[in-house]
Structure 1
Amino acid sequence: MARQSASPESTDPTAWPSGDGCVECLAGDGPGWWLHLRRCAACGHIGCCDSSPSRHGTKHARVAGHSVLTSFEPGESWFWDVETETFFEGPQLSPPTSRPESQPGPKDKVPTDRRRHLH
């Protein structure tokens, strides 16, 4: 199946990432750790993935009306529309395009039984 292209209104290639971790997790919303990170293609907000305990990436997309997310993981470059559940080819976004490879999550917050907490 061929991927479609993201609509120009759903992405802003000039929007900088909001940081190198989930904004809400780092601010104390939820348990404070994540499995993978997602970047809002419209505004650069970094949130945690839907397998993470708090699912902040998709929550942001729905509340803000910014439906297109992209992976913020090293080596991944896919785009996903949370409304249509469709993968997209997207534009090159402002760097950085992933979290630091040395940082899978806040080391002092990730529980040893993390798999039990994942969705």
Structure 2
Amino acid sequence: MSPEHPNDPHPRLASVDPSVPPSGTGCVECDAAGGWWLHLRRCAHCGHIGCCDDSPGKHATAHAQDTGHPIVRSFEPGESWFWDYVASEFYDSGPELAPPVSHPADQPVPGPAGRVPADWAELLGPS
């Protein structure tokens, strides 16, 4: 629990705007550049969809750094966890966000279809 919010163990979750829809079904910057991603993350403040830190672009983290929006939620089907960049903390739950809550289930991982190089695993390196 934080001293600022003694009854709330995750005070930055209070700054989330659950009414904002996601910006699309893929990473904004990768789509604009014709790139690809491994996993997607959704900014819980403005809905920006960016790629994870295991993706070549690391656009979700860049968005958080550029905007000061500290909370992302997984944008993967079946995942509902949040990450707080400021506290470097994982939250297994948080506010329900406006739909859709993930990219389409038929969108491949990595994705999107047709833009992922055949040697993608080697390009990402050891996990």
The TM-score normalised by the length of structure 1 is 0.89
- RMSD value over aligned CA atoms? 1.3
Which structure has the higher relative contact order (CA within 8 Å, separation 6+)? Answer: 1
User: Are residue 45 (structure 1) and residue 37 (structure 2) matched?
Assistant: no
Output the amino acid matched with 1:8: A
- C-alpha distance in structure 2 between counterparts of 1:118 and 1:57, whole Å: 17
Aligned residue number for residue 108 of structure 1: 114
In the alignment, is residue 94 of structure 1 matched against residue 98 of structure 2?
yes
Q: Could you tell me which amino acid in structure 2 is paired with residue 58 of structure 1? A: T
- Measure the CA separation in 2 of the matches of 1:66 and 1:57: 10
Q: Determine what percentage of the aligned residue pairs are the same residue.
A: 57
Aligned pairs (5 A) from 1:33-72? 33-72=36-75
Give the conservation status (yes or no) of the 8 Å contact 2:13–2:95: no
The count of aligned residue pairs is 113
Structure 1 residues not aligned, in runs of 5+: none
Query: How much does 1:107 deviate?
Result: 1.3
Q: Which amino acid aligns with 1:97?
A: V
Residue 83 of structure 1: CA displacement? 1.8
Could you list the per-position Cα deviations for residues 46-81 of structure 1 after superposition, in whole angstroms to 9, with x for gaps in the alignment?
A: 000000000001110111100101100000000001
Q: Cα distance, 1:7 vs. partner?
A: 3.0
